[in-house]
Each structure stands twice: as C-alpha cells, then as structure tokens.
Structure 1
C-alpha cells in the first residue's frame, strides 16, 4: 500500500466515523449496515414466449466468435410445434383435471415425459430455446457409443487435461479406455473427457457436427451444439422438449443406462510431467457420480447435471416405478430454494401421480415434421455477426444479410435431410410408440 493510499484510507475512516455520530478518534464504533433480505425466487413467467427463437442474451463473452468467424442465426422454428399443438404453448401446460404443481420449481422451462410411450405428461415452455450446459454431453456420449470402440486405450494430451471447466481428473500422459472416458464424461461431467472423446471423433468441430446431425435425426429440432462439453459458444441452443427426446433415446442404449446409474468407479491416475521439476506420478482414485438424484430418489436411474453462467442450472434425469419410466428435464433454473435434482424429484413425484393416460403431446415427432421457418430474426436483431464487424465504423449490414441468408438456407437444408433420416434413426434407438 502506498503512503498516499494509506493516508486516504485513514481520512475516509475518520470521516465515516464522524458522519455516524462518532468522535473520529480511536475506539469509535464502526457503522454496520442494516441486514438485507434477498427477494425470494419465483418461477420465471414465460407466457409471452421470450425464448421462442433463441436463448436470452449472454451475460459474458463466452459466445463471442473467434476472429473471422460468424455467429450462426438461431435454429429455425418449425411451422407447427414438434410433438403436438399443445406443446406450442410457452407457459405451464398440464393435462385435463391435473392437480396443482409442486412448490419451489424455479426452472424457466421443464418437461416430464414417459420414456417408453413417449407421452409428454406436463411441461413449461417445452420448446423455449435455452443453453443446455453439460446436459449436451448426453448427445456426445451417444455419438461416441455409436462410433468408438470402448476398449480402445487413448493417451491424454496436455490440451485434453487443461480444457476449461469441470474435470474428471484426466492428466497429460494418462492412458484411458473410451469406456473410462465416458465414465468421466457422464459421472463427473468432465470437460477433459469430452475433449479427449471429441479428438477421437475427428476433432472438436467434427464432433460437434456429428452431435448436431444426431440431434436432427432424433427430431430434436431446437438443438444446436456449439461445443462437445456444453461450454457456451456461438449459436448454442436446446429446449426442455429436445433434452427429453435425447435423454429418452439415450436410455435405450444399455451401456449409457449403466454409466449414468453407476455410483463410483476406480479411475486411472497419470504419470509425472518430466518438464515440471519435482513433479510426481498421480495415483488412481475413486470417481464418484455427481448426480444427487441417484442417491436420494427411490427408483432413480441416473441423469446429467449442467451449469454455466449463461445457461444457469440445467438437469436431465429418469426414474422407474411400477414398471413405468419417466424422464424429467429442467433448463434455465436456479439452485434456490431447492437444488435442481431436488426440483426434478418433485416433478417426478408429480408425474408418477398422474394417470397413465395423461398426455399433452409426444416425444415422437410426426412424420410430416418439416423445419419450415415461421420466424427468423433479421440481421439487425442478430447484432454483430463477426468479430471484425464489431469494430467502430464498420458498416456490415449487407454482409450480415448475406451471412444470414446463406447460413439460414444451409440450416434448413440440413434439417430437411435430418427429417428424411428420422424414421431410420427412430428404429435404431427404439423410439417407436410401444
């Protein structure tokens, strides 16, 4: 602390004491501000469809594109609600004669659905666009399970180990099977495991492309992954409905189902780094599942947690009771007054209490679903398209219109091709109505 700053702090302290009625000399009582009570959390009102086209604006720089890159336009909105007309609503949607919802559900959007029949039992803003955070790892896991040999051993790189965000504990030079990487991905939400798996799938961009192709094939038309791990990136989007579609499909894979319900496993360590003086070998350790629903809810089958500053809390999970399996998804949530898994538990209880015949829609998209656009924002609504466009005095309106047109057309074409392949993928993942 400099002499000038020290003097300034002393003078400020004396002035504060005098203003509070003290003498300004040593021993005067400090001023204690009155306690404040934070306002109670309330379930966000989405009746006006604020997220019908895209998630809320980012609060940080996580979605600023790399220099020279562009921000993709929002995912096209289908002409009719996927899963049924009732699912086009943006507020709370309940079946006829349904009882009141449980208290303290503060997620902006959520869905309760029957994983076997595909019936959607209740929802709030089911097709609202939100950031998925780490729940998108379910999509990455499905791609990896489809393409990678689970027994293949992979040596982790420094880039794998140093990836931003949550970590499974992978280290440079560590050797891991793909099965162990999936354990780290789904049990501990490891971004390091996500990067290592993506590297085997052809790199981050290729892995993300494969994830998006699978989402389209499954009928998850609100979804666009921007990263394999769920870290926020330009254009990231999903919805409570899509999360239920993806998770219900994933439950059909026995390996995935086994991974998410595993409570703990032995996980490999990694060798010392010769480039670091005094570094030591890291021993193996016990990797625990971070999904609290698994330990605290009767019949829980597992799930996936997620959080980023922009996405807030997200969650997908499932439970089985009396031969019935329900899935629950929450997006845009908070951890108060209850943790997301606890809110999910209340929604699951609500779903199990509803009659088996209760339904407001279906996870099984109809055959005639097409991604024709009902609303796509203009270039002006999109804001800066590239890092270069943000510079002062750069008139890029024409470039924006071209970018929006080209990217929008490409997106629509990709979704049309995905719709063509939808029936084949449904059969593959056992998504027909039973």
Structure 2
C-alpha cells in the first residue's frame, strides 16, 4: 500500500472516530458548488459568447462563463475575499486571466477571469502528457520516419529530432518538457496512433477532468482555429499530471543531454564506424532555469510555459513553501516586457504563500468525474492519494478511496452510518474532508534554489 493511501485511510479513521463522538455538535464542512446545471456540454452557459471557441478571442471576457468549481469563478474580473489580515493582491498584474490555488486542498485563493476561453499555446502540452505519458515505458525505443514529423507548424519550437534516428521515450518527453518540442509531440502522437487519435483522447481526458473550457485541435498547442483552454483548466491539467512520478520528473528537470545525429568517423582507427553525440537542452521555464531578468523562484518544481501569436505568453507553475504547495496559471499579460509572464506569476506566488492560511477561497478545483463520491455528495476538491506511472491513472487509483469514504456501506463506516441521521450528515462531511485533498507524493524539488 502506498504512503498516500495509508495516510488517507488513517485520516479517515481518525476523522470518523472524532465525528462519532461529536455527532451533534460539530459544524458541517463547506463544499464547493457543483457545476451549474445550465452549463452546456462545452462548459460554457448555453448561448454565451464563450460557447463558441475561437482562435482570436475578444478583447474582453464574456459576461457569462462556466461555473465549474464555483459561481464566482464564472464571473468576469478579479475574485478574492479580502479581509483583515489578508494581503492585498499585486496592483500591476496585466494578464488577461490568472488563478492561484492550493494544489493539494484544491482551494482557489483568488482568480481573474478564470474560465475565459483563450488560446493555450504550449501549456496544452500538460494535457498531452497527462493523456499519453502513461502509455509507453520510458525505455521503449522508436526510430523516426518522415511521417512522424510531418505537418509541424511553421515557426514551431523544436528540440531537434532527426529522421531515421532512434530515440527513447525518455528522450522524447525531455524534448516535450524542456524545449517544448513540437517535433517530439508529433513523434509521440504517431506512436499513440496518430494526431487525430491523440487529439480525440486529449479531449476525452479533458472532459474526464471536468476541464470543460478546453477544445483541443492540435496536441502541441500550436495556434489553430477553435483551440482554446482556460486558466482554470490548465491548472486542472497540471494538478492531474503532478500525480504521476514521470510527469513530475520531466517538468522539474532543468537541463539534460539530448541525442544528436549519427555520423561516420572519417579518421583514425575507428574510420568508417558510426558515432552519435549529444547536446544539452535547458528548460525554457524561466522560474526553474532563471534568466537575465528573472531569478529561479524558491521552491519551484515545474510545470509548463508557452508562447504563440494568438496566445501570447502563458504559464502554469507549481511551487512549495512551508509545507504548502501552490499552483499559479497566468495567461497573456498585456504588459510588453521580457519574461513578463514569469514576473507576474512570481508575484502571485508571493501573494499566495502569504494568503493561503488567511484568505477565504473563492472556489475549488474540481476532481475528475471518475473520482466523484458514489453517494452523490457535493463536489469534492480532489482525491486522497494518487497513482504513480505504470499505466494506472491517478483518478483511477483513487476510486477505491472515494468509494470507501463517500460510498461508505462496509466496515466501521457502515455501522456509523446506521446510528443516527446526525452522524450520517457528519460522516458525509468527513468524506469531503478526506477526499478534497489530493497530495502530491514525492514532489520533485531539485535545483529549486538560486
């Protein structure tokens, strides 16, 4: 049994015992609102301006947006509960959309146009990785053929994959995460049955994650008509991906060696033989690798950046400080300054770590559909535990825990549920308390200090 599952079950037993003894006095826990029944399958209210995704969004957010995660998240503008002791938000934020959330509890601490459907650029590669990464062992090898790298958009970011060369899956994922290589994405997509098949799977996985603002057209995030996502959805992708060990490893790697071309030796005793060199690639996430005007952010551990003509600069980052793990997504800062997306992200991280224990959340990061409580309790905010790599998705691995805590018809919980109606209500609250957390086991925090 994994440590996260043990922790979740121990927490459940303790919570159950406490609630059984305080059945008539303990207050109920607050659950985030479920998605509005008026939402269309696309995740936007039927008939709203955001219901039809576009590669060239309007200059202002639609008046009505999806309410997944809470009604306030569907409102335009900045959403935050300022009160005594809560630090004020940075005043020089220019991003079209952003969101600050607790990666483990799922609490949304503050947001700005969280559900505005915008072009995602290469941050969409987080969904690509979360969808495809579990399918291939990292040691599997693949020889690249011309069709593998066909159809890559002009001006795409490339890691430098060459036809007729052989790469491991590990090499390819390093190319995806460090250099945001569209060539690596296309090779992995072809291994996965082709571009169309991969896009279909990504859209299905986005729906499973309840990322209903997202419409995938190209798996690499390259600008395409009707390809959109939102700051809220990108945060869901990051949170789901971080449940996977390999995802955490790749997104936190600062630099690595990537295989070069095979060449023939022209001189010496080895003349006529072939040799293959390598070259260094560095992560383009500047909060992880640093730059001339951006320092490495303390506690940073990933996740993914992007930049295209339609999307502008986009970024989702995860960082840890004092036992708290926060996710920040920033989309398209209007301020035209070098590395502005990272500067605004850093400011939001700074605010979030100061506010996390003081501010009342404005919404929640919803769990995947597959982890919803069997008893139909109000939406939880995550899962207890989380699968590692090896073919099992994080949401699948958490189902037994959700069933045991929320479905509760066996063992001590079943007995407790049969005592009184008051205990039943309180145990439903206990199930929410356990299920709402989604721990990030063994979160990689290597090379996170300047």
Check whether TM > 0.5: yes
Closer, same or farther in 2 for the Cα pair 1:334/1:155, shift >3 Å? farther
1:235-265: CA deviation from partner (whole Å, max 9, x where unpaired): 2111110111111111111111111111111
1:327-377: CA deviation from partner (whole Å, max 9, x where unpaired): 011123346335211211111111111042531100025979xxxxxxxxx
- Following superposition, the deviation at residue 270 of structure 1 comes to 2.2
Closer, same or farther in 2 for the Cα pair 1:194/1:352, shift >3 Å? same
1:398-419: CA deviation from partner (whole Å, max 9, x where unpaired): xxxxxxxxxxxxxxxxxxxxx9
Does the aligned pair in 1 maintain the 2:315–2:341 contact within 8 Å?
Answer: yes
In structure 1, the partner of 2:396 is 428
Matched, 1:94 2:97: no
Matched, 1:82 2:76: no
In structure 1, the partner of 2:281 is 287
In structure 2, the partner of 1:345 is 346
Structure 2: which 5+ residue stretches go unaligned?
Answer: 1-47, 58-63, 265-273, 290-295, 371-378, 384-391, 400-434, 438-450
Instruction: Give the secondary structure class of the aligned counterpart of 1:327.
Output: strand
What is the number of residues matched between the two proteins?
Answer: 312
Partners in 1 of 2:182 and 2:148 — Cα distance? 8
In structure 2, the partner of 1:127 is 115
In structure 2, the partner of 1:139 is 127
Does the aligned pair in 2 maintain the 1:114–1:324 contact within 8 Å?
Answer: yes
- Following superposition, the deviation at residue 103 of structure 1 comes to 3.6
Partners in 2 of 1:333 and 1:121 — Cα distance? 20
In structure 1, the partner of 2:101 is 113
Matched, 1:104 2:92: yes
TM-score, structure 2 as length reference: 0.63
1:286-307: CA deviation from partner (whole Å, max 9, x where unpaired): 1111111013100001121111
Does the aligned pair in 2 maintain the 1:252–1:429 contact within 8 Å?
Answer: no
Q: 2:366 aligns with which of 359, 364, 367?
A: 364
Partners in 2 of 1:245 and 1:57 — Cα distance? 21
Closer, same or farther in 2 for the Cα pair 1:172/1:367, shift >3 Å? closer
Does the aligned pair in 1 maintain the 2:252–2:288 contact within 8 Å?
Answer: yes
Q: 2:246 aligns with which of 244, 255, 265?
A: 255
- Following superposition, the deviation at residue 161 of structure 1 comes to 4.5
TM-score, structure 1 as length reference: 0.66
Partners in 1 of 2:55 and 2:356 — Cα distance? 39
1:277-329: CA deviation from partner (whole Å, max 9, x where unpaired): xxx98731011111110131000011211111111111111100011110011
Partners in 2 of 1:225 and 1:262 — Cα distance? 26
Higher mean C-alpha displacement, 108-117 vs 331-340: 331-340
Partners in 2 of 1:309 and 1:323 — Cα distance? 37
In structure 2, the partner of 1:298 is 298
The structure number with the bigger radius of gyration is 1
Closer, same or farther in 2 for the Cα pair 1:281/1:134, shift >3 Å? farther
Instruction: Give the secondary structure class of the aligned counterpart of 1:284.
Output: strand
Instruction: Give the secondary structure class of the aligned counterpart of 2:277.
Output: coil
Partners in 1 of 2:49 and 2:319 — Cα distance? 28
Instruction: Give the secondary structure class of the aligned counterpart of 1:182.
Output: helix
In structure 1, the partner of 2:56 is 58
In structure 2, the partner of 1:210 is 201
In structure 2, the partner of 1:387 is none
User: Pairwise mapping of residues 413-424 of structure 1 onto structure 2 (< 5 A)?
Assistant: none
Structure 1: which 5+ residue stretches go unaligned?
Answer: 1-49, 60-76, 274-279, 369-418
Matched, 1:171 2:162: yes
Instruction: Give the secondary structure class of the aligned counterpart of 1:136.
Output: helix
Instruction: Give the secondary structure class of the aligned counterpart of 2:183.
Output: helix
Closer, same or farther in 2 for the Cα pair 1:232/1:429, shift >3 Å? farther
Matched, 1:313 2:313: yes
In structure 1, the partner of 2:332 is 332
- RMSD over aligned CA atoms reads 3.1
Q: 1:265 aligns with which of 256, 275, 279?
A: 256
- Following superposition, the deviation at residue 54 of structure 1 comes to 4.7
